[in-house]
Structure 1
């Protein structure tokens, strides 16, 4: 197990909103709250490009887009908070803050806020890839992007280590080495940071401090994956700051991150592969993909492969190890989105016939969506403080594709990592009468629809919509961007006309690399 896997496995154990997050792609003010009560207006002097909002001065800036020279226009402002909120006179950290201007000449005073996933994803880095999903909201509202502490350009917790090549025969977790590498990472970061201070609770205090600096507007929170935890915690601590909440692919407060990853993935795969069995062309070509997957897993456990393929960007030949552990991670990545999960029966079949390149090659593209999380240790600060004590090995998971590897890895890492504090009621169910819209994907391998069902029980003005055939992070799918904007405008989830979600459905499995059968 190489050093890179130290944090990559933690990335995989964390929410992994990134793959699904790439898929995010009105009419009048409701009048329920006077504009003045929702927050101040932007103050911009004639001839100046910058503006003031509350006590913050924003100036034009550009948000970079990964793997491209393109940028997204925004306005940025300096914002500083104590690293340790209980010691405000101690070290300060700078948080990267940006605002996307509404196209309206006089936008609503409340502010939409993107809460990114991970843990470890940065809002300013995520937004350019998902901007299309927020276009309807921007017709009437400004959008705030703030990299959560420890991510992006907000005092990131990044461990830069020399990387070794993974031995293709590595089949067991080297927990002793993971503990040593975690200790080395901690020592590296401790020179400039206190990792115990990079928790969800600290981020919630940052968010409220930002609201006050902006002039105390109400927030329309849009949380995705792990960001839904931040949204629920903010709602519990600062309900007066909330106007509305959208929870895309949510996790209940009661859930320990990582505790059910193996079971959730297995259930998702069974459901997706069942659709293949109901399609004559797919059933004829691949039989039972679920059984084939486990046959492939057993084959690679007994005899790992080394796969040669060309890098899609440099065209240089590279060799990638493929064993049972790596297979589990690749399949999980494929399962996040319907377009990639539709490839699974085909790539599994090809691998069983000795052609592993399609599976490994496609995974390289998917993994690019995770690259902003690689090396980020903030996720350990979150999980070790908030979830580690509730992570236990479940006997029923031992034979599943993911098995108990994630739980074992996290427990080993958290034995070393410092644990920050959390409120006593941190894992209490969220209860509120605020307007909340929950979006779930039918085949989500991480946060299945039952999570949304559990959350909505405590929300008297909440509603869940399930997108048939979809995976993780669905806000940008089909008509959902317009539905979200309508909800934010009218604050009425229960009477929202959501008939258009009937158009959703699964993506047919590929019979060959030309696509699905007729």
Structure 2
């Protein structure tokens, strides 16, 4: 297969990670006559601005939340709320929180408690993340509106971008990489400090902002759906404002008592073992590709000893480039692809290609992924969160020295946090949430970053909680199978234990690629 055809195929696979479900569920609703739509828009160009639509004290105007991967956008109402950056200085610098509201269906049985979706990262924007998971809210919107608040430091809420950091992660051997990253962190810190006090972009600050938005829209109680890092925000909100928390949905659960970064290497190893084992159980894959785990180990050793100079085609420009393929490229690619089994299904084939000395696909995809992450993640906000909340608990795991990620990620975070301003962390921040709040906890069986064991830990102190493990799924599972309907039922009843979840038994494993022509039969 030609290089161009391979990139088209892999681009389709990447679409699955960032927007496939939205495209699948909404394609049938797309306008049939694009010319008519364009004409209608042109006819409105000179129309006076629409009158704002009020939700409590916040004025909203029509807007479209664009998809990050080309699928249809989501029609919404957009507004903002001004909050003090430093709560002790209400007359000081202020942040305009970017807010989107997707109103409930007007024909439904409308309820007064909206759903707040909390994005992951830390560093992702709620308004930018929502279109990819929008189909999961289809049934929930029959009764409740959805509110999206770009957490301070993300999206359009005074974003703290450090794009140079993403490039620094692929700059050379480990020692060189740490030096380059530290220099990039210091430059980013100095640049951002001209317009932000980096101590006040923590989870605790975000929780206070969320309650300010809740109060401003006039909602007495709200339902929180947290995804990944957003589950930390949701748990912290429920502890700080239990009287305003109606329900919790925690998708890909991060327990309060973990320190972000410590378990990344071990969790990835466990998930890759499970995912690669699927190849061994399918004769066509085992015969064609062998043992993906063993080949990955051999490939990493080869790159460590003698990184090859690879000629590859830049996916964004189409230009031919040359660069040395480093172990960091493979580690980063495997880690991020493992989030979605649909995407990771191509990993055994890519690793096999590398074991055969064909490196161009690995290099091109690694560079493409790095570019996407730098655009979607506010690394400055991420450092404000991790350095304030987790840095003092980060430590090497000697058992992971020879793993794919090793301890370089932890060492890098510690070094970066030494140079980053830190906010205050409440004394009980890392204590488990103990609450009677109705809670539904969701985990993917193959999740490489927040495994099902995390949810099992959290649900122990939530007597009205229930933990579900979705077979064959990875990270962020709210849109898998019948989960959207179960999500809507839980919002309606606030009873996780009463849900009939038999429909989840229909979830299937994604078969691994054995050729670049796609999945086998």
- Taking structure 1 as the reference length, the TM-score comes to 0.87
SS at structure 1 position matched to 2:226? strand
Aligned to 1:498: 501
Deviations 1:452-484 (A, max 9, x none): 000110111111111111111111111111111
The verdict on how the C-alpha distance between 1:202 and 1:177 changes in structure 2, with shifts beyond 3 A counting, is same
SS at structure 1 position matched to 2:139? helix
Aligned to 2:191: 188
- Aligned pairs (5 A) from 1:447-458: 447-458=450-461
Deviations 1:376-398 (A, max 9, x none): 31000000000000001111110
**Does 2:307 align with 1:301?**
no
Contact 2:169 2:181 in 1 (8 A): no
Aligned to 2:12: none
Shift in Å, 1:70: 5.6
Aligned to 1:359: 362
Aligned to 2:489: 486
Aligned to 1:78: 80
Aligned to 1:211: 214
Aligned to 1:277: 280
The verdict on how the C-alpha distance between 1:375 and 1:464 changes in structure 2, with shifts beyond 3 A counting, is closer
The verdict on how the C-alpha distance between 1:212 and 1:24 changes in structure 2, with shifts beyond 3 A counting, is farther
**Does 2:54 align with 1:52?**
yes
CA–CA distance in 2 between the matches of 1:482 and 1:425? 35
CA–CA distance in 1 between the matches of 2:86 and 2:234? 21
Shift in Å, 1:181: 2.4
CA–CA distance in 2 between the matches of 1:136 and 1:283? 41
CA–CA distance in 2 between the matches of 1:219 and 1:354? 54
Contact 1:19 1:366 in 2 (8 A): no
CA–CA distance in 1 between the matches of 2:447 and 2:411? 23
Contact 1:104 1:141 in 2 (8 A): no
Aligned to 1:224: 227
The verdict on how the C-alpha distance between 1:330 and 1:166 changes in structure 2, with shifts beyond 3 A counting, is closer
Alignment RMSD (CA, Å): 2.4
Deviations 1:170-196 (A, max 9, x none): 354443343332222111111111000
Aligned to 2:100: 98
Shift in Å, 1:74: 1.3
Contact 1:479 1:501 in 2 (8 A): yes
Contact 1:19 1:370 in 2 (8 A): no
Contact 1:24 1:474 in 2 (8 A): no
Q: Which runs of 5+ in 2 are unaligned?
A: 1-14, 23-48
Shift in Å, 1:24: 6.1
Deviations 1:300-325 (A, max 9, x none): 10111233222344422233431112
The verdict on how the C-alpha distance between 1:173 and 1:22 changes in structure 2, with shifts beyond 3 A counting, is farther
Shift in Å, 1:359: 2.7
SS at structure 2 position matched to 1:372? helix
CA–CA distance in 2 between the matches of 1:51 and 1:208? 21
CA–CA distance in 1 between the matches of 2:69 and 2:502? 37
SS at structure 2 position matched to 1:377? helix
Which of 244, 247, 271 does residue 247 from structure 2 map onto? 244
CA–CA distance in 1 between the matches of 2:238 and 2:166? 41
Query: How many residues align structurally?
Result: 480
Shift in Å, 1:275: 1.9
Q: Which runs of 5+ in 1 are unaligned?
A: 1-17, 26-46
The verdict on how the C-alpha distance between 1:350 and 1:69 changes in structure 2, with shifts beyond 3 A counting, is closer
Shift in Å, 1:19: 9.0
Contact 2:316 2:368 in 1 (8 A): no
Contact 1:467 1:505 in 2 (8 A): no
Aligned to 1:64: 66
- Aligned pairs (5 A) from 1:67-216: 68=70, 71-105=73-107, 107-159=110-162, 170-216=173-219
SS at structure 2 position matched to 1:370? helix
Shift in Å, 1:399: 0.7
The verdict on how the C-alpha distance between 1:19 and 1:236 changes in structure 2, with shifts beyond 3 A counting, is farther
SS at structure 1 position matched to 2:275? helix
**Does 2:430 align with 1:427?**
yes
Which of 252, 258, 261 does residue 261 from structure 2 map onto? 258
CA–CA distance in 2 between the matches of 1:447 and 1:280? 30
Contact 1:178 1:412 in 2 (8 A): no
SS at structure 1 position matched to 2:224? strand
The verdict on how the C-alpha distance between 1:463 and 1:165 changes in structure 2, with shifts beyond 3 A counting, is closer
CA–CA distance in 2 between the matches of 1:259 and 1:173? 22
Shift in Å, 1:367: 4.6
SS at structure 1 position matched to 2:134? helix
Shift in Å, 1:168: 7.4
The verdict on how the C-alpha distance between 1:374 and 1:437 changes in structure 2, with shifts beyond 3 A counting, is closer
- Taking structure 2 as the reference length, the TM-score comes to 0.87
Contact 2:165 2:181 in 1 (8 A): no
The verdict on how the C-alpha distance between 1:313 and 1:90 changes in structure 2, with shifts beyond 3 A counting, is closer
CA–CA distance in 1 between the matches of 2:403 and 2:492? 44
